Amino acid sequence: MSTPAPPRAAANAQRPSLRERFDAMRNLRPFLKLIWQTSPALTLTSLGLRLIRAFLPVVMLYIGKLIIDEAIRLVGAGIAFDDLATAWASGALDHLAWLLALEFGLAIGSDLLGRLVSYADNLLSELFTNATSVRLMEHAATLDLEDFEDPELQDKLDRARRQTMGRMNLMGQLFGQVQDAITVVSFAIGLLVYAPWLILLLAVALLPAFVGEIDQVPPRFSAIKVGGARAYDLARDGAEFELQARRVTIHSAEVSDAPDADHVELTIRTGKGVYVRSLARDLAVMLGAEGHVSALRRERVGPFSTENAVTLDFLEEMVHRGAASEGLLPVATALDDIPELAVTPEDAFSLRQGRPIVLLPRQVETLKDRLTGGSRTVSAFQGQTLVALCQLRAGRLEPDRVFNLQGS
């Protein structure tokens, strides 16, 4: 007897793959061709108005810069007047007033252009819907009478008519995205020309968005398994697949240095499972740019840091002297975040034999208070010697990994 698939699994199975989404882009060209055939004049009008409106924010920003520059110039010149009427009559404020009027006019013009774009899109939408409906009726007129008795064909014609009425939303979204892209590119060029350091400021401003718990999509070249295969193997084979976002934690992120306009150094403190490559990718996307990790230095993992690390030369020297173990930290150093329990020699012997031991109620309560994040892992020590890593279950410690270490 087969069981129905869970709703989430069924939904994922129905979702189009990345290849299918890109294949659907091939329909844009005939779609735009139909729009052009509906009314070339209206299509050009809509595109032209959107192009003008795309550059208006950059122009308004530049006019704002000129206004600030003129105000600073007037203040720096030391020109003083008893009242506004005297200043106005002197003509010293003419240039500033002209710039303010131009900025105000551009703001009104931007609003009017938005209304004109909406009017042109709605008019083009009506014409496109009427033209497509006429094409459908002309096609239906060529069918035989018996075709109209076919319920499947009737259903297809009805769906085609309904979908035609909703396809103009796609035109508005497509043209709007092109307009937004032109605006973003214009802003980026302006920043590079007048103040490239502002790009660094934007990066600093966006970093708080990556602090805390975030949903991160791992990179395609990663060791995550997809259908039993490693993602990096699938990526190298050119296979199409999608990686699901995972909840990870970023404790802190800050800009530590900016050697030049093309590089920025970040200091990030993360939880486990975080891909720094994905952080760089997502940060670049939010900046409307492209980026990658050119160098990565891991300075701390749990209790281990570069401060208590040894160099390879030092370790090689110790090996030659037969004292390599002197450079090693105790095993317990890696268990600082795992609750420990002191056990008797008898219990230690049982754990080393792979047998669980029964705990007292007060021991169970003490360990439960110290366990965090749903973990059940407990380290068992006999004196200063690690005996085993265990799982706390039903009042017992069940050995998970046993160590054969020399006692101290």
Domain's final residue, options 165, 193, 221: 193
Beta bridge pairs of residue 304? 301
Q: What is the pLDDT of residue 201?
A: 66
Q: Based on the domain organization, do 357 and 376 belong to the same domain? A: yes
Q: Based on the domain organization, do 223 and 267 belong to the same domain? A: yes
Distance CA 256, CA 207 (A): 12
Locate 196 and state its tokens: 């490239």
> Rg of the Cα trace of the chain?
34
Q: What is the pLDDT of residue 4?
A: 43
Locate 305 and state its tokens: 């840091």
Query: What contacts 81, CB < 8 A, 6 or more positions away?
Result: 87, 90, 92
Domain membership of residue 217 as a residue range: 195-297
Structural domain tally of the chain?
A: 3
Residue 218 phi/psi, 5° resolution?
Answer: -65, 160
Q: Based on the domain organization, do 35 and 184 belong to the same domain? A: yes
Q: Based on the domain organization, do 26 and 175 belong to the same domain? A: yes
Binning the chain into helix, strand and coil, the percentages to the nearest 5 are 60, 15, 25
Q: What is the pLDDT of residue 203?
A: 64
Instruction: Specify the DSSP class assigned to residue 238.
Output: T
Q: Based on the domain organization, do 177 and 213 belong to the same domain? A: no
For residue 374, the domain's CATH number is 2.30.130.10
* 295 touches 264 (CB < 8 A): no
Q: What is the pLDDT of residue 1?
A: 39
Residue 307 lies in a domain: no
Q: What angle do CA 3, 5, 9 make, to 5 degrees?
A: 160
Q: Based on the domain organization, do 205 and 180 belong to the same domain? A: no
Residue 318 lies in a domain: no
Strands lying side by side in the sheet with 212-216: 212-216, 246-260, 263-270
Binned average pLDDT, 10 residues per bin, the chain of 408 residues: 41 56 74 84 89 88 87 78 74 85 90 87 82 76 71 71 60 80 80 69 66 83 84 85 84 83 85 86 81 88 79 82 71 78 92 92 88 84 89 90 76
Residue 155 lies in a domain: yes
> What is the bridge-based pairing of β-strands 385-393 and 357-358?
unpaired
Distance CA 405, CA 352 (A): 11
* 259 touches 294 (CB < 8 A): no
* 119 touches 125 (CB < 8 A): no
Maximum pairwise Cα distance, the chain: 102
Distance CA 226, CA 235 (A): 11
Residue 184 lies in a domain: yes
Residue 227 lies in a domain: yes
How many CA atoms, within 13 angstroms, populate the side-chain half-sphere of residue 131? 14
Domain's final residue, options 126, 159, 193: 193
Report the sign of the C-alpha dihedral through residues 97, 99, 103, 109, in that order.
Answer: positive
Domain's final residue, options 193, 225, 254: 193
* 336 touches 386 (CB < 8 A): no
* 120 touches 51 (CB < 8 A): no
Q: Based on the domain organization, do 95 and 68 belong to the same domain? A: yes
Distance CA 13, CA 7 (A): 10
Residue 281 lies in a domain: yes
The letter for the amino acid at 213 is E
Residue 340 lies in a domain: yes
Q: Based on the domain organization, do 77 and 169 belong to the same domain? A: yes
Structure-token match 């999608």, residue found: 242
Instruction: Specify the DSSP class assigned to residue 226.
Output: E
Q: Based on the domain organization, do 78 and 24 belong to the same domain? A: yes
Beta bridge pairs of residue 226? 229
What is the three-class DSSP state of 379? Answer: strand
Statement: the pTM of the whole predicted model exceeds 0.75: no
Q: Based on the domain organization, do 391 and 267 belong to the same domain? A: no
Query: What contacts 103, CB < 8 A, 6 or more positions away?
Result: 60, 63, 64, 67
For residue 280, the domain's CATH number is 3.30.2350.10
Q: What is the pLDDT of residue 349?
A: 92
Q: Based on the domain organization, do 54 and 183 belong to the same domain? A: yes
Q: Based on the domain organization, do 152 and 265 belong to the same domain? A: no
Distance CA 180, CA 117 (A): 14
Distance CA 136, CA 130 (A): 10
Q: What is the pLDDT of residue 338?
A: 85
Residue 316 lies in a domain: no
